[in-house]
Amino acid sequence: MIRKLVCARRWLFVVGLAAAVVTAMVILAEMAVGATTGNENVPEVGFPPGNFAVNESDGVGVVAVAISAAPAAGAAVVVRYVTIPGTAISGEAGDYIDTTGVITFTHSSPTTQTFQVEINDDTLLNEPDETINLILWLLTPATATLGRNVAILVITDNDVTPPSQMIFVQPVIAPDAATPPAPRRP
Confidence of residue 181 (pLDDT cuts 50, 70, 90): low
State the pLDDT at residue 168: 58
Reply yes or no on whether the pLDDT at 150 is more than 50: yes
pLDDT (tens digit, 9 = 90+) per residue, 73-83? 899 999 999 99
**Cα dist from 68 to 2, 41, 111, 144, whole Å:** 62, 11, 7, 10
What CA–CA distance (Å, rounded) separates 152 from 124? 22
**CA distance to 82, 136, 142, per residue, from 101 (Å):** 7, 10, 20
Domains (range + CATH), the chain? 34-156 (2.60.40.2030)
Q: Cβ–Cβ contacts within 10 Å for residue 36, how many?
A: 18
Question: What does the DSSP 8-state code read for residue 40?
Answer: -
Please give the Cα distance from 104 to 86 (Å, whole number).
26
- 136 pLDDT exceeds 50? yes
Please tell me the predicted confidence (pLDDT) of residue 69.
Answer: 93
Query: Which has more pLDDT, 177 or 7?
Result: 177
**Range among 15-19, 148-152, 163-167 with highest mean pLDDT value:** 148-152
